[in-house]
Structure 1
């Protein structure tokens, strides 16, 4: 059960990071973040942190 504390936020961060990246690259319009290079750089970093949390959570479930 404790591993869900890693998996759920990790999934959210991965989704948000992906959306931020797509917005930063200008493919998803309608936001002040559209076309801003900062989000094209921060988005993949945020998504990667989310994936790391997911991996930690999944590994924790296997050992429990």
Structure 2
């Protein structure tokens, strides 16, 4: 991915997904009270999955683009 705007968008979406995943996991693990999601293990699993997706998007957005062999 060489387009700078697309890479920035990946990082931004990844950070948002990571934050949402941490909140969901915290509520599912009963660490963040005050919601219908509190204490429900399903939200813990959903939060972990969303958080991992966020991390993957951040890594993809921050990776340097590969150089073509023709550039050498």
Return the TM-score normalized by structure 1: 0.90
From the CA coordinates, give the structure whose radius of gyration is larger.
2
- Structure 2 CA distance for aligned equivalents of residues 48 and 8 of structure 1: 15
Shift of the alpha carbon at 1:5? 1.4
Q: What stretches of structure 1 of length at least 5 have no aligned partner?
A: none
Larger RCO of the pair (alpha carbons < 8 Å, separation 6+): 1
Residue segments in structure 2 that go unaligned for 5+ positions in a row: 67-72
How many residues are paired up?
62
CA RMSD of aligned residues (A): 1.2
Following TM superposition, where does structure 1 have runs of at least 4 consecutive aligned residues deviating by more than 6 angstroms? none
* Higher helix fraction (1 or 2): 1
